[in-house]
Structure formats: C-alpha cells, structure tokens
Copies of this chain bind each other. A is one copy, B any other.
Amino acid sequence: MSLEEVLDEIRREVTPDPEERELVEGFARRILSEVRDRLKERDPDAEVELIGSVARDTWLPGASDVDVFCVFPKDRDLDEIVEVTLEVGREAIEALGGEAREEYAHHPYIGGEVEHRGRTFEVDVVPCYDTEPGEVITPVDRTPHHNRYVEEHLEDTVEARLLKAFVKAIDAYGAEVRVKGFSGYLCELLAIHYGSFEEVLREAVRTWRPGFVIDLEGFVGEVYEDYDEVRETFEDQDPALIVLDPVDPERNVAAALSRRQLTRFILAARAFLGDPSPEFFRGRKPEPVSGEKVRDWFERNPTHVVAIEVRLPDEVEDIYWPQLEKTARSLSRVLENEGFEVRRWHVMRDSEEEHGYVLLEFEHGKLPELEWRVGPSGWVREDRVRGFVRAHGRFWVEEDGKLATRAERKFVRPEDLLGRLEGADRQTLLSHGFGKDLARSSEGEVRLLSAEELAELADRDPELGKALAEFMRGDPLSELVRDRL
C-alpha cells in the first residue's frame, strides 16, 4: 500500500463517526452543565471548562475520558476551591448515576465512572485558578491554557489523531512513569509544529536525538539567547527531547519522554515510512505467554534469571513504579559490586497492583569461589594499604601500582546475596536500595521465585503473561520493524 492509501484508511478509522461524536460530546455537555449549575450556586465568579482531547476534538474512537475543570478567581483559598470542587463534582457525578471518589494529584479532585448510553465514561472534576500563563499558582492551572493553545493553533485535528493512534499502537502513549512516552498534549503540539502526521515522522527520523529543541513560539532569540541556553536550562532533566511549552517557556512538554521511547518512536517512524502499512496502528501489545512456555524458556535459557517478588504500596502507579525501577537498578548495582554481571533488569506488576516483580538476568549463575580483588596503590593512605595487606597477606602488584589478591568471595550465587531480602525488614530493604514506600509495603514480604512459580503467575494473570512475553521474546516492535528498515 502507498503511504497515502494507508493514511486515508487510518484517517477514517481514527475519526469518530457522527453517531459516536454525538454520544461522547453529548455526554460531555451533560456533565459540564451538571457541574456548572452547581458551581455557579456556590461561587458565581467561577467558570467551568471542558478540558482534554474531547474539548480539543483530538480524541480517538472509543474515548471515555472526560475532564472538567472548575476555574476559580485567583483570590480564593486553595482549601476553599478544593472543597467546592469536591462537592459539586461529587453531586454532578452522582446526579448522572455515577459513583464518585476523591483522588489526589497535586491537590485533591473528584473522579468517577458514569454510564451513558452503554459507554462507561471516566470523569475527572478538577479545581484550578484562572491565571495568566506565566503566573500559575498550581500546576494544573496551565491546563486550560494548553486547551486554548491547541484549539487556536491545531488546524487539522485528524493529524493529531493519527499521531496519537500511532504512538498508542507502539505502546508509547502517555507521560506516566511506567510508559515515559508522548502525552496527548505533546502529540498535539507536534502536529501543530510540523503541520501533519507524516511530517512529524519525517522530521523525527531526520532530526530528533537527545537534546533536540522544538520551539513552536520562537522563544529562542526572545526568552533564550540561543539553543545552547535552552539545552543548558533543561540539562538536569537529561531530556530525550526539549519541546518548549508555548504557554510557559520554562517548561519542557517532553520532560517525561525517555530515550527508550525516543528510539522506539524513531524506529517505528523509519519502518513506517519505508514500508507503510495499517499494521502500525493495530497495537503491538504482546500475546500473554503461557506457563508452559515460561517453563520451557527457563529450561533452555543458557543464562541465569532470578525473579524477586515485592509487595506494592497502596499508592498510585506514578508513585510506586519509579520505586520499582529504582529497586531493580539498585539491586543490579549491589550485585555488580559483588562481581555479578547483570545483563539487564525488567520490572512488572500484576493486574491487581498487589505485587511487583524484578527480573534480573545474569551472565553466570555461579561465580568462582575466588575473586581477583584489587586494592589501593602503595602511595595512598597508609591505613588503607595496611588494611588490605593484613586482611589478605598474599598479594600481587598490578602494572598501575595497585595491590591485588585472590580472595574468597562473599557471594558465589546471586541468590546468596538476594536471599538476604527474603522476609527482610524495612531497614534491610532500604539499605539495598528499595524505594521508600516499597520498602515499607514489602517488609517481611519479599520472596525469590522459582521458574515454576513464574510459570504459574503467567497462567494466572495475563498482564504478567504479557510482561514475561516481552522479557523472553523481545520488544513487540521488533516484529513490526525488522523487515521494514
């Protein structure tokens, strides 16, 4: 198929038909008016705004997220606007037959599920202040400005829809920590900046690399002296891309994007441009692997894999996921300090968000009992030299002047070290680099799993089955791009 044929087909697919449009927009109007009526009673100066992809007309068929913002004058207390919003949000959701619950991001807000003509909508009602773009009081105050910017500048909404569908299909949609991908707003800005989906892909392949700056509003030359100053400003984020927020030049819209997702996007873009196919929009989540396959894999696997089960804290994913990753990274470091070579780590969680899993792959299941331990040079502090010589007695002196010896290893198998975590207390977990909340929730609950236990998990929970499939078989993107590059 030619690129135009594919794009035409997908444009039709990603554009809601009139019926669905009426369903979603109709629901949005209803919840908006339910909130507005109640809000005006409590605070006549406050306004209600529909936010997000439904408001911007960049939503994809099947959409179910509707975000309503209650926008208050700046002189109100934060406590006050939160209280009002929680109340009117709860009442509005319940008035439509939904169930409301209090949520928390930067400050509390109301979420709820509402059934409407056969579709379950996820509604959020969020308080914020009416501010100028440059003087936001809470982080969400920026959101209405984002909304307005996209509404004013996005000429062809279907191009943003194409891009969202593309990143969704390669599992790179969303700024949440588990994904570290492209947020909806980022997709919209890219569509605005490059003019079309196709141009986003072409320019990504041609120009994107870590530290590349995208400046829609010409801040460079105005707010920033030059591109180097932009890069210096965001240096600490070690950003994969820098997309200056049109409503706030000090913010990088792509701050959450990882280098991993940057590579994945560029690869997918290259492959798609090289050999266009609707397949790229079909979703690449791997099939969950069966327990049988897990058993099989472990039996044939020539390397050594250790699986650690932890208990997740009762926190949102954006809190516990980075802690799970940090734990995997810390354990790798601890193990490497003891001479083990960790090839890679992989983290996953079950679908109930009860347990997290760290998989560590090692070059060897067992190290020789003696290690080559390198100590200080002769000219460093006397006590260090004395300590090394007294401890080991026998030594060699290396070319660079360092003492070295063959010494008995503390841990011969990774399990010898990791076994200390089984049932360990909070302090021990913290000292091995567990995240704060994870160390608390996992106290006494850490277990090393056998291949058999992993196999059983794969059979019981398809989410784990999928994660294991990726661990064992590779990035689902591989299959899509390998014959197209």
Residues in A lying within 8 Å of B, measured CB to CB: 205, 208-210, 240, 258-260, 262-267, 270, 302-304, 339, 343-344, 361, 363-364, 367-370, 372, 377-379, 382, 385-386, 389-390, 393-406, 470, 473-475, 477-479, 481-482, 485
Q: In the complex the two chains form, what is the Cα distance from A281 to B293 in whole Å?
A: 69
Is A262 touching B368 in the complex (CB atoms < 8 A)? no
Asked if A397 and B303 make an inter-chain contact with CB atoms under 8 angstroms apart, the answer reads no
Known: A370-B302, A385-B267. Is A396-B259 also a contact (CB below 8 A)? Answer: no
The residue on B at minimum CB distance from A378 is B263
Q: How far is the CB of A60 from chain B (nearest CB, A)?
A: 25
- Cβ-defined contact, B263 with A397, below 8 A: yes
A475 lies within 8 A of B259 (CB): no
**A339 → B minimal CB distance (Å):** 8
Interface centre among A379, A402, A474 (most CB of B within 10 A): A379
In angstroms, Cα B477 to Cα A385, docked, is 14
* Residue contact A395 to B478, C-beta cutoff 8 Å: yes
User: A400 CA to B259 CA in the complex, in Å?
Assistant: 5
Cross-chain contact of A379 among B210, B370, B386 (Cβ < 8 A)? B210
Instruction: With CB as the reference atom, state the residue of chain B lying closest to A412.
Output: B302
Q: How far apart are A461's CB and chain B's nearest CB, in angstroms? A: 22
CA distance A378 to B270 in the complex (A): 10
| Chain B neighbourhood of A473, CB < 8 A | 394
- Knowing A262-B401, A385-B267, say if A208 contacts B379 (CB, 8 Å): yes
Q: Max chain B CB contacts within 10 Å: which of A260, A397, A474?
A: A397
B residues near A485, Cβ cutoff 8 Å? 382, 385-386, 389-390
Closest CB in chain B relative to A398 CB, distance in Å: 7
Whole-angstrom CA separation of A344 from B402 in the bound complex: 12
User: Which residues of chain B are within 8 angstroms of A474 by Cβ–Cβ distance?
Assistant: 394-396, 405
Q: For A302, what are the chain B residues with a Cβ–Cβ distance below 8 Å?
A: 368-370
Known A266-B379, A304-B368; 18 more pairs at CB < 8 Å: A210-B379, A258-B401, A259-B400, A260-B399, A260-B400, A263-B402, A264-B397, A270-B378, A302-B369, A303-B368, A339-B363, A344-B398, A389-B478, A393-B478, A394-B474, A394-B479, A395-B475, A396-B475
Q: How far is the CB of A303 from chain B (nearest CB, A)?
A: 5
What's the minimum C-beta distance from A273 to chain B, rounded to whole angstroms? 11
Q: How far is the CA of A432 from the CA of B258 in the complex (A)?
A: 40
CA distance A220 to B51 in the complex (A): 74
Chain B residues lying within 8 Å of A205, measured Cβ to Cβ, are 382
Q: Which residues of B contact A382 (CB under 8 A)?
A: 205, 270, 485
Are A370 and B208 CB-contacts (below 8 A) given A267-B378, A399-B260, A401-B263?
A: no
List 23 A-B residue pairs with CB atoms under 8 Å apart, sorted by A's residue number. Answer: A209-B377, A260-B398, A260-B401, A262-B378, A263-B378, A263-B379, A264-B397, A267-B378, A267-B397, A270-B378, A270-B382, A302-B368, A303-B368, A344-B404, A361-B372, A363-B367, A363-B368, A386-B485, A389-B478, A394-B473, A396-B470, A396-B474, A397-B475
Q: Which residues of B have CB within 8 Å of A304?
A: 368
A263 touches B405 (CB 8 A): no
Q: State A385–B269 Cα separation when bound (angstroms).
A: 13
Please determine whether A390 and B344 come into contact, CB atoms closer than 8 angstroms: no
A378 to nearest B CB, angstroms? 3
Residues of B within 8 A of A386 (CB): 485
List residues of chain B with CB within 8 A of the CB of A372. Answer: 343-344, 361, 363
B residues less than 8 Å from A396 (CB atoms): 344, 470, 474-475
How far does the alpha carbon of A134 sit from the alpha carbon of B69 in the complex, in Å? 86
Please indicate the chain B residues that have their CB under 8 angstroms from the CB of A368 in the complex: 302-304, 363-364
C-alpha spacing A401/B405, complex, angstroms? 38
The smallest C-beta distance from A275 to any residue of chain B, in angstroms, reads: 12
Partner of A263 from the list B370, B403, B470 (CB cut-off 8 Å) is B403
Say how far A482's CB is from chain B's closest CB, in angstroms: 5
Q: Nearest Cβ in chain B — how far from A478, in angstroms?
A: 5
**Chain B residues closer than 8 Å to A265, beta-carbon distance:** 378
- A260, B395: Cα distance in complex, Å: 12
CA distance A477 to B385 in the complex (A): 14
